[in-house]
Amino acid sequence: MAALPIHGASLLFLRMPPNASLHGVAVDHLMLWNLAALLPCFVAAQAWIIFAMVRRKKAAVLKTYSHLVERLLLAAFCAMYLWMAITAQHLWAVNRFEGASAESMQVEVVGQQFQWYFRYPGADAAFGIARPSLVNAAAGNPLGLDPQDARGADDIVSSVLVLPLGREVDLRLRSLDVIHGFFIPAMRLKENTVPGLVLHVHFTPIAVGTYPILCSQVCGSGHARMQAQLRVVSPDAYRQWLQQHAKEHSR
Amino acid sequence: MSSIFTTGHRAIGILYLRLSLAAVVVGTLLSLVMRIHRLWPEVPLPFYGLLKPEDYLALVTMHGTLMVFFVLTTAPQSGFASLIMPAQIGAREMAFPRLNALAFWLAAAAFLILMAAFFVPQGAPISGWTSYPPLSAIPSAGPGQGAGMDLWLISIAVFCLSSWLSAVNMLSTILTERCPGMTWSRLPMTVWAWLVTSILTLLVFSVLLAAILLLFSDRHFGSSFFVPLGDLVNGRIVGRGDGSPLLWLHLFWFFGHPEVYIAVLPGMGLATSLFANFSRRNVPGYRLMAGMLVAIGLLGLLVWGHHMFVSGMNPYAGTAFAVTTMAIAVPSTVEVLGWLFLLSRGGLRLHTPMLFALGFLSFFIAGGLTGPILAQPALDSYLHNTFFVVAHFHLVMAMAGVFSLFAGIYYWFPLVTGRMMSETLGKIHFWISLIAAYGTFLPMHLSGLAGEPRHYERLTGPATSFSSILANERGITSSALLLAAAQLIFLWNMIYSARRGRKAEPNPWQATTLEWAPEGKTIRVQRGPYEYEVTAGNAKFFPQWESASKQE
């Protein structure tokens, strides 16, 4: 894996895996500032307790000031909470309030005990209908694509998520059985896949590489093994991969 | 046997605490097996053999269930309140003594039913203490989701009834049984906390009970509240109705979040009392502190969605819950600053109960400060269900909660047994526990930031390896073992001191609240709960049971 130009939030020894998504830059920045703001509060409060423990009893020297100091500290904390709420809200809104742009590519993510499947809509840019009653992994139809639906004829189903560098992707999250958690640490992305719901999340990969995809919601005995790979490749390599798979599917 | 089938509030309080002790012993042992298994997945467990992945998940589920319900709810809320609260408000008994006994026996039955889940075919459930459907709704979704899951549901349903009855009783007692003169502004902070937690219990355990009945109905009576149409589990279509798994999340967390406050508010009340006592200071801003306890309780009912930022809930709802959650940081900060300023003038009497109360404060701050981080959906969408969250709630709820329990036990031990616990052993117990607890839970933040999810029984998977955090994980496991071992000192201290401990004088901590009043005295309260005053060189304090004329 090539050295990544962008590094994750790292404060002393607090480290996240290197970020590889466009929105992750801001997420890491925010995480860093939050940790940087709260770590001194933690240290100061603990020091305060130790100071109180070793201090001999003092008469009311500080009494006149302490009330004021307490108020000021409270005001400072409230200001910090407000700052946190506003900045984080801004980022959340950018990431989640609006859907992906019209140019984004679509991939469907389907969770099933204990496997991730990724479906590409093919040349027609439309997903064929999938029916639970037709699901038959042994017969090569793990998602239950309906052969009657022509839109599904060119759909590509993969167990690896392959994405082109720098293009926004709109993920369509589903689950066949129980709740799973779709988590790509390097993309700073996590959303549950919920049976009965189709959920959308979007992101843009900005670094070529191979990244683990995990399940973050306990889903049964194979939960810890429910993992897959995300491969971010150059647009050319992506086109090649797509053609190769399209050929396999057209057989 | 008569002492077992008692209706006396003190005896029942002790029974509750013994039940919690049994639960905490089992829960701790389960957690140690988990910690060891994560490091050495290939090492067989003595008398059991190799741990399967589902066994690990069963351990997680049972550990969480035991600790949350049978330790952190039972001990501070039902246990200490039964033991202390009637005396603290000058009542002779609970409002309904037999109801109190019934509530205890229901809790004990719930504990036994839960333990039985280990011994049924396929063993205990694996869906975690939150039991998200469809995993919890469909027996074929995993081992332990059949009979084990049924027992879990029955156990928690019985526990809901128990908590409910206990809360009704508590509320009635506080509202109607206060002695003359015990006005609202003279209530010890512990009673304020028990008042708020009783109201929370009534509201949220009702919702949990309803949710459990719905889930049970989905499993056995063909309904479909939580299972969506076409749900395909283990090769068979099981979803025939039109249910929603998200409905369970809403119902569960409507209970689950206030539950955190049920666990920790009594500790906050007790810490306030102990800080005042062992610093010999009045509580400045008593009304504000009491008001903030109420505010935390009320706001606590409005924040459940912060457990669901990435659950598929509407992102706009995520914003709303982020704001309410950030708001709850304000009354919590008021409490913490109040305590810090109360303590800041020094001269603290560092007896063991005070040390544990300070430990409570230390953990409450350590765990509380990561709260605002997790309240931000943008950051939670990375940290959700990682070890960062595990670290957060083990510090703010588990360690703070357990340290306040220790504070209460060391503090009230002479009241119950007439003997003091050993100070030396108590201090050794405190310092080892404090350091080992930080050693266990602080490094979990690092594992979480590295992206390590909860509920993983091993660090290497098909696509990933968390081997970089192996050293960190080793430290955590060693600390956890030390933390558990230190509790043997506590157990020995308790057993030894109950028989051979130094005889306690009446009111050994020179406390002001009514549970320490001499027996057989008719009580008429004429003053607030924390009148510790200092006149030059001559420490004085005024217990609530002393009449005003003595003040001169």
Structure tokens at B151: 């027992």
Chain A interface includes B218 (CB < 8 A): no
pLDDT of residue B187: 96
pLDDT of residue A8: 41
Residue B1 lies in a domain: no
Mean pLDDT of B240-255: 95
Closest-CA distance of chain B to residue A106, Å: 19
User: Measured between beta carbons, which residues in chain A are less than 8 angstroms from residue B369?
Assistant: 38, 41-42, 45
Q: CB-CB: which of A58, A95, A228 is closest to B346?
A: A58
Chain B interface includes A247 (CB < 8 A): no
Residues B276, B353: Cα–Cα separation, whole Å: 12
Q: CB-CB: which of B127, B246, B370 is closest to A218?
A: B127
Count of CB atoms situated within 10 Å of the CB of A82: 12
pLDDT of residue B139: 95
For residue A100, pLDDT over 80 is answered with yes
The model's pLDDT over B206-232, given as tens digits with 9 standing for 90+, comes to 999 999 999 999 999 999 999 999 999
* Chain B, nearest residue to A62 by Cα: B345
Q: Compute the C-alpha angle A37/B387/A76, nearest 5°.
A: 20
Residue A224, SS3?
Answer: helix
The rounded Cα A143 to chain-centroid distance in angstroms is: 23
Mean pLDDT of B192-199: 97
| Residue in B115, B73, B168 with CA at minimum distance from that of residue B402 | B73
The model's pLDDT over B115-147, given as tens digits with 9 standing for 90+, comes to 999 999 999 999 999 999 999 999 999 999 999
User: Measured between beta carbons, which residues in chain A are less than 8 angstroms from residue B333?
Assistant: 74, 77-78
Closest-CA distance of chain A to residue B198, Å: 29
Q: Which domain holds residue B28?
A: 9-317+325-551
Chain B interface includes A36 (CB < 8 A): no
For residue B76, pLDDT over 70 is answered with yes
For residue A54, pLDDT over 70 is answered with yes
The model's pLDDT over B383-425, given as tens digits with 9 standing for 90+, comes to 999 999 999 999 999 999 999 999 999 999 999 999 999 999 9
Residue B506, SS3?
Answer: coil
Torsion of CA B524, B526, B529, B530, to 10 degrees: -140
Contacts of B497 (CB under 8 A, 6+ apart): B413, B417, B419, B420, B421, B422
Closest-CA distance of chain B to residue A240, Å: 24
User: Measured between beta carbons, which residues in chain A are less than 8 angstroms from residue B348?
Assistant: 52-53, 55
pLDDT of residue B441: 97
Residue B401 lies in a domain: yes
Residue B112 lies in a domain: yes
pLDDT of residue A6: 37
- In a mutational test of the B interface, the residue from A32, A38, A71, A177 whose CB has the highest number of chain B CBs within 10 Å is A177
Residue B4 lies in a domain: no
Residue B72 lies in a domain: yes
Q: Kindly write down the DSSP assignment for every residue of A118-167, as one continuous string.
A: EEE-TTTT-PPPB-GGG-BTTTTBTT-B-TT-GGGTT-EEESSEEEETT-
User: Measured between beta carbons, which residues in chain B are less than 8 angstroms from residue A62?
Assistant: 344-345
Count of CB atoms situated within 10 Å of the CB of A138: 6
Report the length, in residues, of chain B.
552
The model's pLDDT over B434-472, given as tens digits with 9 standing for 90+, comes to 999 999 999 999 999 999 999 998 888 888 877 788 889
pLDDT of residue B519: 82
Residues B421, B488: Cα–Cα separation, whole Å: 14
User: Measured between beta carbons, which residues in chain B are less than 8 angstroms from residue A199?
Assistant: 312
Please give the DSSP secondary-structure letter assigned to residue B4.
T
For residue A138, pLDDT over 50 is answered with yes
Confidence of residue A241 (pLDDT cuts 50, 70, 90): very high
Residues B470, B454: Cα–Cα separation, whole Å: 15
Characterise A56 by phi-psi region: left (phi > 0), alpha (psi -120 to 50), beta (else): beta
CB B125 within 8 A of CB B152: yes
Do the chains contact at A190 and B382, CB–CB below 8 Å? yes
Give CATH superfamily name and number for A105-250. Cupredoxins -  blue copper proteins (2.60.40.420)
Closest-CA distance of chain B to residue A209, Å: 13
Structure tokens at B294: 């109420």
| Residue in B61, B85, B73 with CA at minimum distance from that of residue B17 | B73
Residues B540, B530: Cα–Cα separation, whole Å: 12
Mean pLDDT of B253-269: 96
Chain A interface includes B241 (CB < 8 A): no
Weakest mean pLDDT among A54-63, A94-103, B351-360: A54-63
Q: What is the CATH number of the domain that holds B501?
A: 1.20.210.10
The model's pLDDT over A105-131, given as tens digits with 9 standing for 90+, comes to 999 999 999 999 999 998 899 999 999
Cβ burial of B380 (10 Å; 0-12, 13-18, 19+) is buried
Q: Compute the C-alpha angle B193/B198/B199, nearest 5°.
A: 105
pLDDT of residue B7: 83
* Chain B, nearest residue to A115 by Cα: B462
CB B439 within 8 A of CB B39: no
Residue B331 lies in a domain: yes
Do the chains contact at A48 and B127, CB–CB below 8 Å? no
Structure tokens at A85: 């709420």
CB B436 within 8 A of CB B32: no
ipTM: 0.93
Interface of A with B in 123-152 (CB under 8 A): 131-133, 135
pLDDT of residue A251: 47
pTM of the predicted model, to two decimals?
0.94
CB A151 within 8 A of CB A145: no
Task: Count how many domains chain B has.
Answer: 1
For residue A213, pLDDT over 80 is answered with yes
- In a mutational test of the A interface, the residue from B224, B249, B464 whose CB has the highest number of chain A CBs within 10 Å is B464
Residue B2 lies in a domain: no
Residue B79 lies in a domain: yes
pLDDT of residue A11: 44
pLDDT of residue B550: 47
Count of CB atoms situated within 10 Å of the CB of B288: 15
Where is B369: in which H helix or E strand?
helix B352-369
pLDDT of residue A250: 56
For residue B327, pLDDT over 90 is answered with yes
pLDDT of residue A5: 35
The model's pLDDT over B509-523, given as tens digits with 9 standing for 90+, comes to 999 999 999 887 777
For chain A, the average pLDDT equals 89
